[in-house]
Amino acid sequence: MLDVLVVGAGPSGSRTAWNFSKEGYSVVLLDRAEVIGEPCQCAGLVTPRTFEYLGYERPILQEMDGARLWGPKDSFLDFQASETKALVIDRPDLDRSIAEKASDAGAELLHGHTYLGHEKIDGGIKASVKNKNKKFSIEAKLLVGADGPLSRVAKNAGISGKREILTAFGADVKGYKGRDTHVDLFVGSELAPRFFGWGIPTGPDEGRIGIATTLPHKPRHFFRDYFLKGAPSKLLGGAKIINLISGLIPFGTANPSYTDNVILTGDAAGMAKPTSGGGIYSGLISADAAFEVASKALDSNNLSATNLSEYQSLISTRIGGELTKGSYLRKAFLSLNDDQLAEIISILGEPKVKETIERTGDLDYASLAAFSVLKTQPKLIKFAPHLLKPFI
């Protein structure tokens, strides 16, 4: 019987497999994709902190030190920070690099393999797996579900809960007329209802465009309009699509994120940030927390839910507080109409407020900037009084 079976070779799954493998545990890491990281389902924007946490770097396509915010009623704001705030990366390359770290450390990597379900057996679980040639079983003491927003592991383990899931649609394009080192963000009911759209320069004359929203809205419809009208069309006139990108973004931490012999990480555990939709950094944090707790459980030969319960408190302490604050910020955002969004963008352009955002803005910890902005301009609280709840 294996020590650990990890389902999903995204950043959190591969990081978990890497952690266990380099400490001598027997590990199988499987992913349904024939090529790890493909197809890409991410905008590929991370903070420098992500590489610091990961422990090594990968090629960087662009460094971002600013943002342009396009809103309703022709509202517009241009931010310019004094330091790099985000990095544009090749996301499939990142996924493959972490999976290779796990493989080099001793994990068996099974790509092109689909997890079908599992059953509880004496001392662990028995998972049913298939590839294009056959169906077979894998027995393991611990099953790690790192299989994304619609986690089949979570569902089969009985720990999948109801949460908000956004659909995202975008593309890499040639002919993007963005501003180097600046991310373009689009908000408002006509551009990106209930979330936002983005434009990210990835190289000379190239960019990554996308939008995420919730049902019944369809992101593909708004994405198509980006080429035809409104602020996005100013940046996309004559642009050609190179390849399409789509994916799901889950909001809401799974609680519990564990049960007997099973633990969830990454998007399966709800690690995406409600403010940006990004989940790589927080997913890595969950992977390390899972290893810390589950390795002790393996060593004690006790993988009961009770013995894995420390995992929930670890992710709550290390990143859960920020995710909770982010959920309040999202609730506040959802309460706004287009007129209010336009007014807020105008207020954010006041010199002291703008300087605060440029100084404190942080993709991983958006609540820090939000709190600083509220202190700088308290009248913003009128738009969403419950915003104060996470900061009191």
Q: Are residues 123 and 261 in the same domain?
A: yes
Q: Residue 315 falls within a domain, yes or no?
A: no
Q: Are residues 204 and 229 in the same domain?
A: yes
Closest of 244, 280, 246 to residue 86, by C-alpha: 280
| Domain end marker among 249, 277, 300 | 249
Distance CA 265, CA 315 (A): 10
Q: Are residues 257 and 158 in the same domain?
A: yes
Q: Residue 268 falls within a domain, yes or no?
A: yes
pLDDT of residue 389: 56
* Chain-centroid distance, C-alpha 182: 20
pLDDT of residue 161: 83
pLDDT (tens digit, 9 = 90+) per residue, 250-274? 999 999 999 999 999 999 999 999 9
Q: Are residues 245 and 177 in the same domain?
A: yes
Q: Residue 322 falls within a domain, yes or no?
A: no
Distance CA 168, CA 249 (A): 7
Q: Are residues 152 and 269 in the same domain?
A: yes
The pLDDT tens digits along the chain (392 residues) read: 999 999 999 999 999 999 999 999 999 999 999 999 998 888 899 999 999 999 998 999 999 999 999 999 999 999 999 999 999 999 999 999 999 999 999 999 999 999 999 999 999 999 999 999 999 999 999 999 999 999 999 999 999 888 899 999 999 999 999 999 999 999 999 999 999 999 999 988 999 999 999 988 889 999 999 999 899 999 998 899 999 999 999 999 999 999 999 999 999 999 999 999 999 999 999 999 999 999 999 999 999 999 999 999 999 999 999 999 999 999 999 999 999 999 999 999 999 999 999 999 999 999 999 999 999 999 888 886 655 555 55
Q: Residue 104 falls within a domain, yes or no?
A: yes
Q: Are residues 226 and 262 in the same domain?
A: no
Q: Are residues 30 and 134 in the same domain?
A: yes
CA-CA-CA-CA torsion for 307, 310, 315, 318, nearest 10 degrees? -150
Exposure of 42 by Cβ count < 10 A (0-12 exposed, 13-18 middle, 19+ buried)? buried
| 3-state DSSP of 176-245 | CCCCCCEEEEEEECCCEEEEEEEEEEEECCEEEEEEEECCCCCHHHHHHHHCCCHHHHHHHCCCEEEEEE
Q: Are residues 7 and 102 in the same domain?
A: yes
CA-CA-CA-CA torsion for 70, 61, 361, 314, nearest 10 degrees? 120
Q: Are residues 267 and 285 in the same domain?
A: yes
One-letter amino acid of 180? D
* Chain-centroid distance, C-alpha 372: 24
Q: Specify whether the backbone of 194 is left (phi greater than 0), alpha (psi in -120 to 50) or beta.
A: left
**Is the Cα dihedral 23, 28, 32, 35 positive or negative?**
positive
C-alpha separations of 61 from 53, 188, 203, 273 in Å? 19, 29, 7, 23
Q: Are residues 28 and 147 in the same domain?
A: yes
pLDDT of residue 66: 97
pLDDT of residue 385: 67
Q: Are residues 106 and 215 in the same domain?
A: no
pLDDT of residue 177: 93
Containing structural domain, residue 341: 327-391
Q: Residue 52 falls within a domain, yes or no?
A: no
Q: Residue 101 falls within a domain, yes or no?
A: yes
How many other CB atoms sit within 10 Å of the CB of residue 215? Answer: 9
CATH code for position 182: 3.30.9.10
CATH code for position 7: 3.50.50.60
Q: Are residues 130 and 274 in the same domain?
A: yes
* DSSP output for 254-282: -SS-EETTEEE-GGGGT-S-TTT---HHH
Q: Residue 316 falls within a domain, yes or no?
A: no
Q: Residue 230 falls within a domain, yes or no?
A: yes
* Number of independent structural domains in the chain: 3
* Residues 6 or more apart in contact with residue 329 via CB below 8 angstroms: 274, 275, 366, 367, 370, 387
pLDDT of residue 1: 96
| Domain end marker among 249, 270, 288 | 249
